Amino acid sequence: EPEVTQTPSHQVTQMGQEVILRCVPISNHLYFYWYRQILGQKVEFLVSFYNNEISEKSEIFDDQFSVERPDGSNFTLKIRSTKLEDSAMYFCASRTAYANTGELFFGEGSRLTVL
Amino acid sequence: SQELEQSPQSLIVQEGKNLTINCTSSKTLYGLYWYKQKYGEGLIFLMMLQKGGEEKSHEKITAKLDEKKQQSSLHITASQPSHAGIYLCGALSSTGTASKLTFGTGTRLQVTL
């Protein structure tokens, strides 16, 4: 069964360091998303990406965040200068072209710990 | 912005018992997804409802959508320990093709033997 894969599964970094989280969406999917979940809290939307550009972003997704689809398979989330409050589980998700009729597939998540 | 309230926040049931989880939206529902999450892990898709009155079942889990009430319910029949986890409802924010999901607060389910 096709799946969304994320790396790394867990990353520990020092405050102020840059972090890149990687995702490989399902191959025929066209819409890509990043969500995050701070421990014990809701799953929150960060950004959606379609046709090589950001479709929508939340207030959380400030100038410290960026997304990129550098090639035909990867979808990355970069945090330029991490803060303690960026510690969270980050989920990548993707869906097909029929965006509102099908499943939004989630990866297993990348746990980011900022010290 | 759309808010989703889930009730109850947590639930402990004995194996074999039935249970219901509710999800109420502050705005019109364009589509409602149910996911299950095990602690610290990814989200597993359960089902999606799009039309008012729609009802879907998968194994022992049934979900219904009441569009007028802006509400959905998830019902588990004869619960098993494998049903334990956090159940999340997610609502589409619009009918746009890149529409995002907004998630509820989650319901933590424990099933005791």
C-alpha A103/C-alpha B43 separation (Å) is 12
Residue of A nearest to B1 (CA): A58
| Domain presence at residue B22 | yes
pLDDT exceeds cutoff 90 at B93: no
Write out pLDDT tens, residues B22-45: 999 998 887 899 999 987 788 999
Contacting A with CB below 8 Å, chain B residues are 30-31, 33, 35, 40-45, 48, 50, 88, 90, 92, 95-106
pLDDT-derived band at B109, boundaries 50, 70, 90: very high
Give B-chain residues touching A48 at CB under 8 angstroms: 98, 100
Asked if the model's pLDDT at residue A100 lies above 70, the reply is no
Place of tokens 């790396």: A7
- Does residue B61 fall inside a structural domain? yes
Query: What is the percentage of chain A residues whose pLDDT exceeds 90?
Result: 73
Question: Domain containing B73 — which CATH number?
Answer: 2.60.40.10
List own/partner pairs for A45-48 with CB under 8 A and 24 or more apart. Answer: A45/B100, A45/B101, A45/B102, A46/A77, A46/A90, A47/A77, A48/B98, A48/B100
What is the structure's pLDDT at B98? 63
Number of folded domains that form chain B: 1
Q: For the residues A96-106, what does the mean pLDDT come to?
A: 72
CA nearest to B95 within chain A: A100
Structural domain for A61, as ranges: 5-114
Specify the number of domains making up chain A: 1
Kindly report the nearest CA distance between residue A17 and chain B, in angstroms.
24
Structural domain that includes position B52: 4-105
CB B7 within 8 A of CB B105: no
Q: Do A103 and B48 touch (CB under 8 A)?
A: yes
Q: How is B37-85 classified by DSSP, letter by letter?
A: E-TTS-EEEEEEE-STT-EEEETTEEEEEETTTTEEEEEESS--GGG-E
A40-B29-B35 Cα angle (round to 5): 40
Model confidence pLDDT, tens digit, residues A39-88: 989 999 999 998 899 999 999 999 999 999 988 789 999 999 999 999 99
CATH number at residue A77: 2.60.40.10
Question: What amino acid occupies position A70?
Answer: P
